[in-house]
Amino acid sequence: MYHLAGMPEPLARLVEQLSAFQGIGPKTAMRLALNMLEQSENEVKNLAHSLEHLHTQVKFCDTCGGFASANHCTICDNVKRQHELVCVVEQPVDVLMLERGHFQGSYHVLHGRLSPVDGIGPDKLRFNSLDKRIANGNIKELIMATSATVDGEATAHFISRRYAHHHIRISRIARGVPEGGELEYLDEYTLSRALEQRVLWEQERTIAS
Range of the domain at 29: 9-57
Q: Domain for residue 2, yes or no? A: no
User: Sorting pLDDT into bands at 50, 70 and 90, what band is 37?
Assistant: very high
Do 133 and 97 lie in one domain? The reply is yes
Do 95 and 138 lie in one domain? The reply is yes
Q: Domain for residue 4, yes or no? A: no
User: Sorting pLDDT into bands at 50, 70 and 90, what band is 150?
Assistant: confident
Check which CATH number belongs to the domain holding 36 and give it. Answer: 1.10.8.420
Among the listed residues 139, 61, 44, 130, the one whose alpha carbon sits nearest the alpha carbon of residue 95: 61
Span 40-45, average pLDDT: 94
User: Sorting pLDDT into bands at 50, 70 and 90, what band is 49?
Assistant: very high
Greater pLDDT, 200 or 125: 125
Beta bridge partners of 170: 142
| HSE-CB of 114 using CA atoms within 13 angstroms | 13
Do 125 and 165 lie in one domain? The reply is yes
Do 165 and 133 lie in one domain? The reply is yes
Span 144-166, average pLDDT: 91
Beta strands, E only, 63-168: 67-68, 82-89, 105-109, 141-144
Do 132 and 157 lie in one domain? The reply is yes
Greater pLDDT, 189 or 182: 182
* Alpha-carbon distances, residue 69 vs 57, 62, 75, 188 (angstroms): 6, 11, 12, 25
Do 110 and 167 lie in one domain? The reply is yes
Does the pLDDT at position 143 exceed 70?
A: yes
CB neighbours of residue 8 within 10 Å: 10
What is the structure's pLDDT at 67?
96
What is the structure's pLDDT at 101?
84
Asked whether the beta carbons of 144 and 170 are under 8 A apart, the reply is: yes
The number of domains in the chain is: 2
Do 86 and 39 lie in one domain? The reply is no
Does the pLDDT at position 64 exceed 80?
A: yes
The amino acid occupying position 16 is E
Q: Domain for residue 117, yes or no? A: yes
Q: Domain for residue 3, yes or no? A: no
Span 86-96, average pLDDT: 96
Q: For strands 105-109 and 169-172, give the pairing.
A: unpaired
Chain length of the chain: 209
Q: Domain for residue 94, yes or no? A: yes
Phi, psi of 73 (to 5 degrees): -90, 170
User: Sorting pLDDT into bands at 50, 70 and 90, what band is 181?
Assistant: low
Burial-class residue 66 by CB neighbours within 10 Å (0-12, 13-18, 19+): buried
Do 105 and 157 lie in one domain? The reply is yes
Return mean pLDDT, the chain: 88
User: Sorting pLDDT into bands at 50, 70 and 90, what band is 94?
Assistant: very high
pTM: 0.75
What is the structure's pLDDT at 14?
92
- Which helix (DSSP H) or strand (DSSP E) does residue 200 occupy? strand 199-200
Do 47 and 16 lie in one domain? The reply is yes
Check which CATH number belongs to the domain holding 118 and give it. Answer: 3.40.1360.10
Burial-class residue 9 by CB neighbours within 10 Å (0-12, 13-18, 19+): exposed
Q: Domain for residue 66, yes or no? A: no
Q: How far apart are CA 153 and CA 121, in angstroms?
A: 14
Greater pLDDT, 107 or 190: 107
